[in-house]
Amino acid sequence: MNGETPDLERDIIEISDEDGNTFTLEVCDYFFYNGEEYAILRDAAESDEESAEEDLSILIMKVNPYKDENGEEMEEFVPVDEDLLEKLTQLARSTILNEGDFDDEE
């Protein structure tokens, strides 16, 4: 008996900034804007804490799919420019407030 429950698994990634600092982020959701795919991310440590949506810190990055040397589908998360980030953040925040929590328990 394998007790795996995929609904409880979190999609966690690590990214590094230009100074070499590493951050652990949780992928909360994906969405499309103007034909491009984006991901809503938040600090993995913060996602365990109860907080109001208006206090929720999020990061939005563009998703670039690619295949690795073994042919496996992978995702690369790429920062977006500031003007686009502002639009995407407003869109993501309205999605969060309309849907409630990120966790899909359907």
Q: Coil, strand, or helix at residue 96?
A: helix
Task: Give the tokens for residue 4.
Answer: 């795996």
CB atoms within 10 A of CB 27: 19
Query: How many DSSP H helices and E strands does the chain contain?
Result: 1, 5
State pTM to two decimals. 0.71
Count, residues in the chain: 106
**CA–CA–CA angle 91, 92, 94 (5° rounding):** 65
pLDDT for 58 equals 84
Residue 11: Cβ-neighbour burial (10 angstroms; 0-12, 13-18, 19+): middle
Q: pLDDT tens per residue, the chain (106 residues)?
A: 444 444 456 789 998 888 999 989 999 889 999 999 999 999 888 655 544 444 567 889 999 999 999 999 999 999 999 999 999 998 887 776 666 544 443 3
Is the CB of residue 41 less than 8 Å from the CB of residue 57?
no
Which pLDDT does position 56 carry in this prediction? 61
Per-residue pLDDT at 18: 86
